[in-house]
Chain A
Amino acid sequence: MILKPRLEDIKIIGFYLGKIVFGLALTMAVPIICGLAFKEFNPTLDFIIGIEISLILGLVLTNLCRTDKDLNWMQGMIVVSLSWLVAMVLGAIPLYLSGHWKSFLDVCFDAMSGFATTGLALVVDLDHLSYTHNLWRHLIMFIGGQGIVIIALSFFVKGFSGAFRMYVGEGRDERILPNVIHTSRFIWLVSIVYLFLGTLALGVTGILEGMRPVNAFFHGACIFMAAFDTGGFAPQSQNILYYHSFTYEIITVVIMVLGALNFKLHYHLWQGNRKEIFKNIETVTLFFSILVTFAIVAVGLSESGVYSKAFLLFRKGFYQLISGHTGTGFQTIYAAQFGQDWNNLALVGLICAMALGGAVCSTTGAIKMLRLGIIFKAFKEDLKRIIMPERTVVIERFHHIKETFLNDKLARAALMITLAYIILYLLGALVGMFYGYPFLDALFESTSAAANVGLSCGITSVDMPAALKVTYITQMWIGRLEFMSVFTIIGFLFACIKGKK
């Protein structure tokens, strides 16, 4: 029997949602400081308005729903899924006030794309956008990559067991440290240290490549945030092609790969356990997956004959592949070139890479390497059972920080999420096909949205149908949260309507 949610449930959800809104308001102080530093006063006002609206909502929610009770699993999941929708709307307000987006739906699309670290964009005339708004576009990727809830956990929560429920609801099922709040703070520490180093590397490269120092370091910080959080936004409309720099491409590839690694793995590397990178099932699977998908892309590009030299094929093919596989979405080719210069085989290779993604507990989306590795091990185990004598006891194990024996529960969970992702990719493709786009293009864009990648073959544009924009927003949201918290909110709404008192 389904029970109708009590008023107490709604109050608890509202209270913690209010806390997360306060966390989001706090982050808007960063673009305000940037706006004042660059003397961009109107953009600064946009963010003051944004912060004020967030504070009002936060005050209303925390006061109306004041409670001392802790979250249960259902409430934690609902808080997470709602907080991403609320963040999308609140984060969109200052961007909308800039006048660079044609409608509020478009700016919500970009805000969700940013928070979910996707990278698909509908911004108009990006090359004339202020530093302040541009910083916010990239900062929301940084916030979304670590997790919106993680901000609240890091700054506004002193310690409660419901924290773990929200943490899990945000698509992370691994604790790096025993305490989830310490885990959140460690994730921030890693990200800030890399932010400093990455910005320095990209900034110096930018200066050496002829950029003005201010622009070089501003772009460096923005590109780092988009690369490490596997987002894919860039301050200029040409994306990475703007820089015309091989060095810039190499550095961004390194940052993208770092962003696609598990934070737990980062922790072990920081602790000096370097062997882990060679033993971990995720890194091993990622290596082979990149090898296989790049082979498909390379054969496809070689057949299409667009790149006359092997080095050109490697540079363009490998960059888009790493960008797709890590879920970043940086491009060094124009969106239309996917359709014209890349043949179907190369596109299929790239779609597979996008669909697979990076590591769990990283900033990437998609199916993820741990699940792929587990599925592969499960197949191997079943194959052994068929081949070997009946009385043989077949046991498979894998190394992921520690040695783990494969069991049916693990295999079933990995297969279920994988299946859910495949269905999500196909549903988006169906909507694309409904609006008249060819199957492969529709699948490419749908996979890119649902796997939070951001590569575009040209479908994503200001002129695309509103229903398709809503579809992609939903896919980005579901894909980032990895289904469970979204399923919970659907169940909660169902219980509100059909549940018994």
Chain B
Amino acid sequence: MKKHFIKLAISCGLFLFTAVQIAAAATVSSSELIANASQYNGQIVLYSGEVVGDVMARGDHAWINLYDGKNAIGVWVSLALANNIRHTGSYRSSGDKIEIAGIFNRACVEHGGDLDIHGQGLRIISEGRQLSHLFDINKRNSVVILLGVIFILWILTLFLRR
């Protein structure tokens, strides 16, 4: 009973400690993280950005890549957290904008020296959506005009050859 109580107390303490650290952490940009990697190494950071590319599941975890407008940084999260992501950024859609709280690694020992973040918490700031690319009439008109020019040139070629 006493053992269980000690375990529970330690767990609560660790949880509180992490929660306080997360609360104290300010959101940092990718440029700041990369430029001051040694300073942030091993620290809990808040990083936000758009999920781009694929959510790559690896066992009970997944890789997501978060793009903040300057760079994209890889975030290693549990699959349960990654499952909250509905849209990923590509030509056809804008990805979910999320905020990650996690430990920043300048050269992650677990992941072959990658600069990454091991996410512990994930919050969706805004959901992504399908992007509609309306058919560009100007481009279509250009295609038709240029086709006309090619046709005239082809006729001229035939005359020149004769």
Give min CB distance, A310 to chain B, whole Å: 11
**With contact pairs A56-B150, A127-B53, A238-B74 given, residues A63 and B156 touching in the complex (Cβ less than 8 Å):** yes
Partner of A336, one of B35, B72, B140: B35
Partner of B146, one of A56, A243, A332, A341: A56
Which residue on chain B has the smallest CB distance to residue A212?
A: B54
Distance of A319 Cα from B112 Cα, bound (Å): 11
Distance of A40 Cα from B133 Cα, bound (Å): 9
Q: How many residues of A are counted as interface, with CB atoms below 8 angstroms from the partner's CB atoms?
A: 51
CB <8 Å contact, B71 and A237: yes
**With contact pairs A45-B136, A127-B67 given, residues A242 and B107 touching in the complex (Cβ less than 8 Å):** no
Q: Which residues of A, 297-341, contact B by the 8 Å Cβ criterion?
A: 306-309, 311-313, 315-316, 332-334, 336-337, 340-341
Which residue on chain B has the smallest CB distance to residue A50?
A: B146
A431 at the interface (CB under 8 A from B): no
CB contacts (< 8 Å) of B91 on chain A: these are 40, 128-131
CB <8 Å contact, B56 and A209: yes
CB <8 Å contact, A315 and B113: yes
CB contacts (< 8 Å) of A244 on chain B: these are 56, 63, 74, 76, 111, 114, 116
CB contacts (< 8 Å) of B107 on chain A: these are 306-308, 312, 316, 341
Distance of A210 Cα from B61 Cα, bound (Å): 11
**With contact pairs A242-B65, A336-B34 given, residues A307 and B54 touching in the complex (Cβ less than 8 Å):** no
Distance of A243 Cα from B38 Cα, bound (Å): 23
**With contact pairs A59-B154, A244-B114 given, residues A211 and B54 touching in the complex (Cβ less than 8 Å):** yes
Distance of A162 Cα from B153 Cα, bound (Å): 28
CB contacts (< 8 Å) of B156 on chain A: these are 63
CB contacts (< 8 Å) of B6 on chain A: these are none
**With contact pairs A129-B91, A238-B72, A244-B63 given, residues A215 and B140 touching in the complex (Cβ less than 8 Å):** no
Q: Mark B51-80, 1 if CB is under 8 A from A, else 0.
A: 011111110001101010001101010000
Interface size class of B (residues with CB under 8 A): 35 or more
A496 at the interface (CB under 8 A from B): no
CB <8 Å contact, B149 and A56: yes
CB contacts (< 8 Å) of B54 on chain A: these are 210-212, 215
Which residue on chain A has the smallest CB distance to residue B156?
A: A63
A246 at the interface (CB under 8 A from B): yes
CB contacts (< 8 Å) of B4 on chain A: these are none
Q: Interface residues of B: mostly helix, strand, loop or mixed? A: mixed
- Which among A97, A129, A336 has the greatest number of chain B C-beta atoms within 10 A? A336
CB contacts (< 8 Å) of B149 on chain A: these are 52, 56
Give min CB distance, B82 to chain A, whole Å: 10
CB contacts (< 8 Å) of A56 on chain B: these are 146, 149-150, 153
CB <8 Å contact, B112 and A246: yes
Which residue on chain B has the smallest CB distance to residue A52?
A: B146
Q: Which residues of B, 86-124, contact A by the 8 Å Cβ criterion?
A: 89-91, 94, 106-107, 109, 111-116
Distance of A56 Cα from B142 Cα, bound (Å): 13
CB <8 Å contact, A210 and B71: no
Q: Which residues of A, 9-66, contact B by the 8 Å Cβ criterion?
A: 40-42, 45-46, 48-49, 52-53, 55-56, 59-60, 63, 66
Partner of B71, one of A63, A315, A332, A334: A334
A411 at the interface (CB under 8 A from B): no
CB <8 Å contact, A128 and B139: no
A241 at the interface (CB under 8 A from B): yes
CB <8 Å contact, B147 and A59: no
B1 at the interface (CB under 8 A from A): no
A280 at the interface (CB under 8 A from B): no
B25 at the interface (CB under 8 A from A): no
Distance of A337 Cα from B147 Cα, bound (Å): 49
Partner of B35, one of A41, A97, A340: A340
CB contacts (< 8 Å) of A311 on chain B: these are 112
CB contacts (< 8 Å) of A66 on chain B: these are 160
**Residues on A close to B: CB < 8 A?**
40-42, 45-46, 48-49, 52-53, 55-56, 59-60, 63, 66, 97, 127-131, 209-212, 215, 236-238, 241-244, 246, 249, 306-309, 311-313, 315-316, 332-334, 336-337, 340-341
CB pairs A–B below 8 angstroms (19 shown) = A41-B133, A46-B139, A49-B143, A56-B149, A56-B150, A59-B150, A63-B160, A127-B53, A128-B52, A128-B91, A236-B65, A236-B72, A237-B67, A238-B65, A242-B65, A308-B107, A315-B113, A333-B115, A341-B37
Beyond A244-B114, A340-B38, list 4 extra A-B contacts (CB 8 Å): A238-B74, A246-B112, A312-B112, A341-B106
